[in-house]
Structure 1
Amino acid sequence: MSGYPLDIGLATRTDPARVLEEMKRLAVEQLGTLPHNLAQGVEKTLQASAGGPSFEEQGALQLLRQHGASHVMRFRQQIASGFDEFRGPLSRTAGAELNLIDEQHLDLHLTGQRLAEMLEQRYQRPLEVMKQRLGSVSSALGTHVGPNPVAPARLVGAFISTYGDLELPAAFHGVMFRQYQLALGRVLDELYVRINATLATAGYGADVASRRTTPLPSSRPWNEQALEPPATRQPDPPLARSPGAEAAAEISMAAPVVSSRLAGELMSLRSQLHARRRQAAEIDTDAHRRAMQRRPLQSRDVLTIASVMQSEPPDTFARALAASGRLADVVRDQMLEGARRLGLGADGLRLGEQEEDAIDLVSMLFESLFRTHTLEDRARRVYGRLVLPYVKVALAGDALFVQPQHPARRLLDAVTEACEGNDAATPHDRELLERASAVSQRVVAEYNEDMAVFELAHAELEALLVQQRRRGEMQESRAAKATFGRERLAQARAMADAALDTHFAARPLTSAVAEFLSAPWRHHFVQTLLRDGDECERVQQIRALGHALVEVDALAEQARGRELADRLVALQPSIVLCLGSLGLDENAARHGVAMLVRDLATPDTERRRQAVTPLAGDEPANDDPKLWLAGGTATVPHDPGVAAVIRRLQPGEWLRMVDPQGEACSVKVAWVSPLTSRLLLVNRRGMRVLVAAPEELAAMVASGGVMLGGERTPFSEAMRQLRQRLDHAVGQH
Structure 2
Amino acid sequence: MQTDAKVVPLNKGATQQSPTSPVGRLPVALIQVRDKVALQLKQALQVLFDNADDTLFEMADRATSNAEQNAFFEAMRDLRLKRKSIERTFLQKVFESFSSLNQYEIGAAPKLDAVSFDSLSLVQNDELEEVVALDAMVAKVVNRDGIALGHLTARFNTLVSKKIEDKSNPLGPRLLCETFLDACRSLGVEIKVKLIILKLFEKYVLTELDQVYAEANQLLVTAGVLPELRSAPARRQPERSSTAGSQAQPHTQPQVGTAASAGQVSEEGVQEVFGVLQGLLSQVRGSSVLPRRDYPADAVPVSSLDLMRLLSHLQQHLPQQHNDDYDLRVSLDQLLTRASARSGRARVVGQVDDDVINLVSMLFEFILDDRTLPDSLKALIGRMQIPMLKVALLDKSFFSRGSHPARRLLNEIASAALGWVEQDDAQRDSLYHRIEQVVQRLLNDFVDDPTIFSDLLSEFLAYTGDERRRSELLEQRTRDAEEGRAKAELARRQVEEALNQRLLGRTLPEVVVRLLQEAWSKVMLLTCLKHGVESVEWQSAQQTMDDLIWSVEPHEAPEARARLLELVPGLLKSLREGLASAAFDPFSTSEFFSQLEALHVQAFQRFRKPEPVEVLANDGLESPPLLLDLPDEEEVEQEAMPAMVAVVEEIVLVSPGETQVQEPESCLADDEEALGFVDNLRVGSWVEFQEDEEHKLRCKLAALIKPTGKYIFVNRTGMKVLEKTRMSLAVEFRRQAIRLLDDALLFDRALESVIGNLRRLKGA
Q: TM-score, normalised by structure 2?
A: 0.53
Q: Name the aligned partner's letter for residue 607 of structure 1.
A: V
In structure 2, do the counterparts of structure 1 residues 355 and 113 end up closer, same or farther at CA, with 3 Å as the change threshold?
closer
Deviation per residue, 1:137-195 (Å, 9 max, x gap): 224x76659779x99x9xxxxxxxxxxxxxxxxxxxxxxxxxxxxxxx99x99xxxxxx
Structure 1 position 393, deviation (Å):
3.5
Distance in 2 (alpha carbons) for counterparts of 1:639 and 1:682: 28
Structure 2 residue identity aligned to 1:512: V
Partner residue in 2 for 1:603:
641
Does 2:331 align with 1:334? yes
Give the superposition deviation at 1:410: 0.9
CA contact (8 A) 2:713 2:722 kept: yes
State the Cα distance separating 1:525 from its structure 2 match.
1.6
Question: How far 1:111 sits from its partner (Å)?
Answer: 6.0
The AA in structure 2 aligned to 1:671 is A
Distance 1:417 1:519 in 2: 51
- In structure 2, the partner of 1:519 is 518
Aligned to 1:635: 667
Describe the superposition over 1:465-509 as per-residue Cα deviations: whole angstroms up to 9, x where unpaired.
Answer: 222222222223212212211211121112222222223324122
Asked if 1:138 is matched to 2:136, the reply is no
Give, in angstroms, the shift of residue 372 of structure 1.
1.0
1:360 maps to what in 2? 361
Q: Which residue of 2 aligns with 1:162?
A: none
Per the alignment, residue 551 of structure 1 pairs with: 550
Q: Aligned letter for 1:608?
A: A
Aligned to 1:505: 504
| 1:639 and 1:698 in contact (8 A); partners too | no
Residues 121 and 38 of structure 1, relative CA distance in 2, 3 Å threshold: closer
Residue from 38, 53, 78 that aligns with 2:17: 38
**1:389 and 1:444 in contact (8 A); partners too:** yes
Larger-Rg structure:
2
Question: Does residue 614 in structure 1 map to residue 612 in structure 2?
Answer: no
Gaps of 5+ in 1: 1-27, 46-99, 154-184, 190-223, 231-250, 282-287, 321-325
1:429-448 maps to which residues of 2 (within 5 A)?
A: 432-448=431-447
Letter in 2 for 1:547: D
Partner of 1:575: 575
1:711 and 2:743 aligned: yes
- Asked if 1 retains the 8 angstrom alpha-carbon contact of 2:302 and 2:348, the reply is no
Equivalents in 2 of 1:450, 1:37: separation in Å? 36
Structure 1 contact 667–689 (Cα < 8 Å) conserved: yes
- Partners in 2 of 1:613 and 1:257 — Cα distance? 76
Alignment-derived partner of residue 386 in structure 1: 384
How many Å separate the matches in 1 of 2:123 and 2:597? 91
| Structure 1 residues 264 and 550: CA distance shift in structure 2, 3 A | farther
Instruction: Give the TM-score of the pair, scaled to structure 1.
Output: 0.55
Q: Give the distance between the partners of 1:264 and 1:698, measured in 2 at CA.
A: 46
Is the counterpart of residue 307 in structure 1 residue 312 in structure 2? Answer: yes
Query: What SS does structure 2 have at the residue aligned with 1:592?
Result: helix
Measure the CA separation in 1 of the matches of 2:319 and 2:706: 50
Measured on the aligned residues, the alpha-carbon RMSD in Å equals: 6.1
CA distance, structure 2, for counterparts of residue 509 and residue 558 of structure 1: 19
Give the structure 1 partner of residue 408 of structure 2.
410
Distance 1:259 1:520 in 2: 75
Structure 2 matches for 1:289-328, cutoff 5 A? 292=294, 300=304, 302-316=307-321, 318=322, 320=323, 326=324
**What's the offset of the Cα at 1:266?**
7.1
Q: Greater CA deviation, 430-439 or 251-260? A: 251-260
Q: Deviations over 1:210-235 (max 9, x none)?
A: xxxxxxxxxxxxxx9x98999xxxxx
Distance 1:597 1:259 in 2: 91
Name the residue aligned to 1:174.
none
Contact 1:682 1:689 (C-alpha < 8 Å) held by counterparts: yes
Secondary structure of 1:496 counterpart: helix
Match of 1:671 among 697, 703, 717: 703
- In the superposition, relative to structure 1, how do residues 644 and 568 fare at CA in structure 2: closer, same or farther (>3 Å)? farther
Question: Per the alignment, in what secondary structure is the counterpart of residue 315 of structure 1?
Answer: coil
**Are the structure 2 counterparts of residues 543 and 381 from structure 1 closer, same or farther at C-alpha, using a change threshold of 3 Å?**
same
Tell me which residue corresponds to 2:66: none
Q: Residues of 1 paired with 2:648 and 2:417: CA distance?
A: 57
**Contact 1:368/1:721 (<8 A) preserved:** no
Question: Matched residue of 2:554: which SS?
Answer: helix
Task: Work out the CA distance in 1 between the residues paired with 2:641 and 2:755.
Answer: 80
**Residues 509 and 642 in structure 2, CA contact (< 8 A), matched pair in contact too:** no
Using the alignment, how far apart are the partners of 2:99 and 2:641 within structure 1?
81
Q: How does 1:122-521 map to 2 (within 5 A)?
A: 133-134=112-113, 137-139=115-117, 144=121, 254=265, 274=284, 278-279=287-288, 292=294, 300=304, 302-316=307-321, 318=322, 320=323, 326=324, 329-339=326-336, 342=339, 354=355, 357-368=358-369, 371-374=371-374, 377=376, 379=377, 382-395=380-393, 399-421=397-419, 432-521=431-520
- Amino acid paired to 1:458: L
Q: CA deviation at 1:307?
A: 2.0
**Contact 2:688/2:697 (<8 A) preserved:** yes
**Does the CA-based 8 Å contact 1:512-1:596 persist in structure 2?**
yes
Aligned to 2:688: 657
Distance 1:105 1:473, change over 3 A: farther
CA, structure 1 residues 132+614, in 2 after alignment: closer, same or farther (shift >3 Å)? closer
Q: What is the match of residue 197 of structure 1?
A: none
CA shift digits 1:81-120 (9 cap, x unpaired): xxxxxxxxxxxxxxxxxxx99x999988986677789999
Q: Does 1:686 align with 2:685?
A: no
- Counterparts in 2 of 1:299 and 1:391: CA distance versus 1, 3 Å: farther
Asked if 1 retains the 8 angstrom alpha-carbon contact of 2:398 and 2:406, the reply is yes
AA aligned to 1:334 is S
Give the C-alpha shift of residue 458 in structure 1: 0.6
Q: Distance in 2 between matches of 1:118 and 1:497?
A: 46
Distance 1:105 1:590, change over 3 A: farther
Unmatched runs of 5 consecutive residues or more in structure 2: 1-6, 25-76, 131-162, 169-240, 248-261, 603-639
- How far apart, CA to CA, are the structure 2 residues paired with 1:443 and 1:614? 62
SS at match of 1:411: helix
How far has the Cα of 1:407 moved from its partner?
1.5
Contact 1:373 1:664 in 2 (8 A): no
- One-letter code of the match for 1:673? I
- Distance in 2 (CA, whole Å) between partners of 1:258 and 1:119 is 33
Tell me the number of residue pairs that the alignment of Structure 1 and Structure 2 aligns.
524
Distance 1:593 1:402 in 2: 81
Change (3 A) 1:119 1:618: closer
Asked if 1:702 is matched to 2:729, the reply is: no
Query: Which residue identity does 2:115 align to in structure 1?
Result: V
Q: How does 1:97-108 map to 2 (within 5 A)?
A: none
How big is the shift at 1:411? 0.4
2:686–2:699: 8 Å Cα contact kept in structure 1? yes
CA contact (8 A) 2:688 2:741 kept: no
- Equivalent position SS for 2:688: strand
Give the equivalent residue in structure 1 for 2:527: 528
1:660, CA displacement in angstroms?
Answer: 2.1
User: Alignment identity in percent?
Assistant: 19
- C-alpha distance in 2 between matches for 1:553 and 1:613: 20
1:306 positional shift: 1.5
SS at match of 1:38: coil
